[in-house]
């Protein structure tokens, strides 16, 4: 029984040790993506006030719209996503 508890404790410790750097890396990538979207929105003259309230899905959608074809429909879609975050 003691060996089982020790094994479980070791596995739990190793799991936390491995997942923590992954979580940090994912957070850093999210920050980089949000920063890129923020800079693009600023250069397009669009509001950036609520960018911290956007979900990952919304940020990704905005990024795809920004990198997509030019057109007014794109700007309107981005504005709608930003308005939904308010």
Quickly count: other Cβ atoms within 10 Å of residue 30's Cβ.
Answer: 13
For residue 56, the SS3 value is helix
Which residues, 6+ apart, have CB-to-CB distance to 63 below 8 Å? 33, 36, 37, 40
How does pLDDT run along the chain (86 residues), one tens digit per residue?
445 555 545 555 555 555 667 777 778 888 889 999 999 999 999 999 888 899 889 999 999 999 987 777 889 999 999 998 87
């Amino acid at each position: 029984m003691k060996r089982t508890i020790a094994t479980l404790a070791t596995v739990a410790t190793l799991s936390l040790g491995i997942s923590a750097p992954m979580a940090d890396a994912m957070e850093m990538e999210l920050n980089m993506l949000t920063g890129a979207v923020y800079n693009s929105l600023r250069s397009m003259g669009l509001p950036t006030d609520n960018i911290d309230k956007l979900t990952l899905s919304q940020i990704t959608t905005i990024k795809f719209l920004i990198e997509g074809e030019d057109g007014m429909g794109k700007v309107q879609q981005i504005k709608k996503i930003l308005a939904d975050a308010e």
